[in-house]
Chains A and B, each alone.
Chain A
Amino acid sequence: MKKRAVIAACAVAALIVLILFMKPESVGDHYEGSAFSGAADGTVTLEVSCAEIANSPEAGASLKENGLVPDDGILVYETGFPIIGGDTAFSVLSRALKERRIHFDYSAVGDHSVYVKGINNIYEYDCGDLSGWMYSVNGDFPTVSASEYTLSDGDSVRWIYTCDLGRDVGDTYYALQGGGTDE
Chain B
Amino acid sequence: MSNESAFSRLHPLTLSLWFFFVLTVTVMTVNPILAALSLLFSALYKALTTGISIKGISVSLAFMLLIALLNPLFSHHGVTVLFFLNDLPVTLESLLFGGMMSLVVMSSVLWCGALALCMTSDKVIWLFGKPFPKLAVLISLTLRLLPAIKTSYGRMKDARTAAGLYDDSSPFARISSSLRIFSALVTMILEDSIDTADSMKARGLMLRGRTSCSIFRFRPADFAVLALVLLSAAAAAYSSVSKAVLFTFYPAVSYGSMGAVTALTYGSFALTAVVPSFMEVTLWKQLHSTTYRSNTPQARNSRSTV
Contacts and interface: CB of A to CB of B under 8 A. Distances in A.
A63 B89 CA distance: 18
A66 B79 contact: yes
B251 interface: yes
Contact of B248 (A26, A29, A62): A62
Contact of A66 (B76, B83, B87, B251): B251
A105 B251 contact: no
A71 to B, nearest CB: 18
Interface string B67-105: 000000000111101111111110000000000000000
Interface residues of B, number: 18
Q: How large is the interface on A (under 10, 10 to 19, 20 to 34, 35 or more residues)?
A: 20 to 34
A118 B77 contact: yes
A22 B84 contact: no
A23 interface: yes
B86 A23 contact: yes
A27 B81 contact: yes
Interface in B37-91: 76-79, 81-89
A171 B252 CA distance: 31
A97 B86 CA distance: 16
B214 interface: no
Contacts of A66: 79, 251-252, 254
A23 B85 contact: yes
A123 interface: yes
Contacts of B251: 62-63, 66, 68, 121, 123
A25 B83 contact: yes
A103 B84 contact: no
Given A24-B83, A65-B254, A66-B252, 5 more contacts: A23-B87, A26-B83, A62-B251, A66-B79, A103-B79
8 contacts: A24-B83, A27-B84, A62-B254, A118-B76, A118-B77, A121-B77, A121-B251, A123-B77
Interface of A: 21-27, 29-30, 62-63, 65-66, 68, 103-106, 117-118, 121, 123
